[in-house]
Amino acid sequence: DIQMTQSPSSLSASVGDRVTITCRASQSISNYLNWYQQKPGKAPKLLIYTASSLQSGVPSRFSGSGSGTDFTLSISGLQPEDFATYYCQQSYSTPWITFGQGTRLEIK
């Protein structure tokens, strides 16, 4: 299985800050990397697909980059509604999809 490792596991930031979350794959996954946002008691929501493409309806303050094994999710100008848990997911080895362990973004 392809292992996905996110860092940090948790992060404190303030409204208006810019934050970056990193995801590393245990082997090259090309650009088959997706990012999701999950709020408590809710289903995950797709933010970014194929590493850098913004899902329809997602604010442009979210951006993704990377290829191969190293990827980042950046959020510029944090808004109150952005405080949530973020997961990366590789879809290179479909159907054996794997997710990162999650990054919890908290209000400082």
Partner 1 sequence: EVQLVESGGGLVQPGESLRLSCAASGFTFSNSWMHWVRQAPGKGLVWVSRISSDGLSTTYTDSVKGRFTISRDNAKNTLYLQMNSLRAEDTAVYYCASPTMTTRAFDMWGQGTMVTVSS
Interface residue list for partner 1 (CB under 8 A): 32, 34, 36, 38, 42-46, 49-50, 53, 55, 87, 89, 91, 94-102
Round to whole Å and give the CA distance between 73 and 34.
Answer: 10
Cβ-based nearer residue to partner 1, 80 or 95 = 95
Q: How many CB atoms lie within 10 A of CB 107?
A: 11
Nearest approach in angstroms of CB 74 to partner 1 is 18
Cβ-based nearer residue to partner 1, 11 or 99 = 99
Nearest approach in angstroms of CB 17 to partner 1 is 24
- The residues, ordered by sequence, that sit 6+ positions from 67 with a Cβ below 8 Å of its Cβ are 30, 31, 51
For the chain, the 3-state helix, strand and coil shares in percent, each to the nearest 5, are 5, 50, 50
Coil/strand/helix, residue 34 = strand
Nearest approach in angstroms of CB 2 to partner 1 is 11
Nearest approach in angstroms of CB 82 to partner 1 is 19
Cβ-based nearer residue to partner 1, 74 or 101 = 101
